[in-house]
Amino acid sequence: MAELGNYLDDQVAAEVRQQLENHLSHCQTCQVVVDSTRKTVTIVTDSGSFDLPETAMKPLTEQIMNKIRSQQP
C-alpha cells in the first residue's frame, strides 16, 4: 500500500510495478482498493469544484502524497 500513490501516478520502478501487478492479479481486496482509488481521483479531478492555483495545488499534493507514502503497515 505504501507504493499505491506512486503506482497510480505511474511513478514506480519497473520491478515494483511488476510486484504490484502480480499481487493485484490474485488479490481481489487490493483490486477493489486500486479501482476505488482511481475512481475517486477521477471524480475529484473531473468535478472542477476543487480547482486551485498551481502555487497552492503543488505543495498540497506533495503533502498528501508524502502522508500516503509514510503510512506503512
CA atoms within 13 A on the CB side of 25: 6
Q: How far apart are CA 29 and CA 25, in angstroms?
A: 11
Taking the C-alpha atoms of residue 42 and residue 38, their distance in angstroms, rounded to an integer, is 6
- Supply the range of the domain harboring residue 36: 4-70
How many whole angstroms separate alpha carbon 67 and alpha carbon 31?
Answer: 22
Give me the pLDDT at residue 1, please: 65
Q: What is the mean pLDDT of residues 29-53?
A: 83
The total number of structural domains that make up the chain? 1
35: confidence class by pLDDT, cuts 50, 70, 90: very high
Mean pLDDT of 12-30: 93
Sign, CA torsion 38/54/60/58: positive
Q: Looking at residue 42, what DSSP letter applies?
A: H
